[in-house]
A = this chain, B = another copy of it.
């Protein structure tokens, strides 16, 4: 039998991948944190020289994003990540008590399957691989259809480096035949311990996979509120730069701008100054006509394209230095197509009378399509910031910073991570930035400790006795305990 159908080939590959990864994990369990850290050191230094070529290949295959930005992202992200990983212990003995007794042990989970996104493939593949190795797991990279080639190239480089540095064969895997049947097989396989889905919602929403710990980290539709106390020039520039970076491909890029009424005109003119182009009604109609395939689906050719390209493709022209296209809306239309997940430099602009209305609007925006995991605010009023933070259904809120970068831990207090937990989008069990520790479980060691409270012995109450008397007695006794 020479010929095997595509779906079966994919299923066969899936089985072999999971079994190899499982077997490699048996060996990997013998590696301590230092052994793993050595692999990471080597991988982080040896992969650098390959990055420009890999990014070229990624852009050639996906035709999305901006090379200069992608390289800049590597430059900013990797040193912070390296610092973080260097000073971190996630497996083995993590904590001792004051008597030098072991209290907590970090343990790897096993085989981690990673569903890669269609954008920033190399950086996502590298990040997922690094946190998997850091936490002693084996990893299977599952590319999206039509991006197999770039992941294959990445894999061949990484597998080589990892094997050279002593990682067991099969510890890093990559799927070549990505038919749905095979992907489902990987996800449902009993030896797959954890699934990390980086922005491929269909594997959640179609209910194809079952009862497995799953982490989801997709693209959010981030609303940003500019309050009247904000540094408006900085805020306007920050939003435009953040939204347009890599043509809008970062997972928490801003999608909605809400400006407080008293400063709305200033915000608009400062945004224009920074490279925003406010669309006329007819231009907006043209853009919508070309951007959407149907009500809810964006034309994939428009993903990661520049503002000028989007305009040209829609049949109108904008100044050459335009970085983002802005649609101003008086209120939220129920059928507003701009509330869909948009991975290109388009913003919707609303004017709100005050921060409380902005609060309401943000909640509505985040709930309409349930796409949101991140929120941003520009303000110098700590009380407003605090109030604003309390009620929104998001996993993180960025204060006075560009959401694209702050959310992933660049120049921000948030943990460095490219995978932004999407619990608030209704998927996965993690809302925070996903880090190596999330790919482990912790074993707690319990020691005996005398109870502080005194306990009262209650004699066995036989069934024959009068129950109501029992009740009174026991209630008294229990009350006594509770009142102590």
The SS class assigned to the A binding surface is mixed
Knowing A211-B427, A431-B442, the reply to whether A399 touches B478 (Cβ < 8 A) is: no
What per-residue 1/0 map shows which CB atoms of A45-82 lie under 8 Å from chain B? 10011011100100000000011100110111011101
A103 contacts across to B, CB distance below 8 A: 413
> A356 → chain B, closest Cβ, in Å?
15
Rounded to whole angstroms, the CA-CA distance of A445 and B431 in the bound complex is 12
Partner of A478, one of B51, B427, B451, B481: B51
- Cβ-based interface call for A16 (8 A): no
> A64 → chain B, closest Cβ, in Å?
14
Q: Across the interface, do B458 and A68 meet the contact criterion of CB distance under 8 Å? A: yes
A49 contacts across to B, CB distance below 8 A: 471, 475, 478
Q: Across the interface, do A390 and B105 meet the contact criterion of CB distance under 8 Å? A: yes
Copies of this chain, tallied across the complex: 2
A432 contacts across to B, CB distance below 8 A: 441-442, 444
- Cβ-based interface call for A330 (8 A): no
> A97 → chain B, closest Cβ, in Å?
8
- Most chain-B CB neighbours within 10 Å: which of A44, A188, A396, A447? A447
A144 contacts across to B, CB distance below 8 A: none
Q: Across the interface, do A44 and B396 meet the contact criterion of CB distance under 8 Å? A: no
Rounded to whole angstroms, the CA-CA distance of A54 and B216 in the bound complex is 42
Q: Across the interface, do A385 and B102 meet the contact criterion of CB distance under 8 Å? A: yes
Rounded to whole angstroms, the CA-CA distance of A58 and B101 in the bound complex is 41
A80 contacts across to B, CB distance below 8 A: 451, 453
A429 contacts across to B, CB distance below 8 A: 213, 429
A411 contacts across to B, CB distance below 8 A: 448-451
Rounded to whole angstroms, the CA-CA distance of A423 and B484 in the bound complex is 37
Q: Across the interface, do A92 and B390 meet the contact criterion of CB distance under 8 Å? A: yes
A214 contacts across to B, CB distance below 8 A: 211
- Cβ-based interface call for A264 (8 A): no
What per-residue 1/0 map shows which CB atoms of A80-121 lie under 8 Å from chain B? 101100000000110001001111010100000000000000
- Listed from nearest, the 4 A-B pairs whose CB atoms lie closest are A68-B460, A213-B429, A414-B446, A431-B441
> A400 → chain B, closest Cβ, in Å?
6
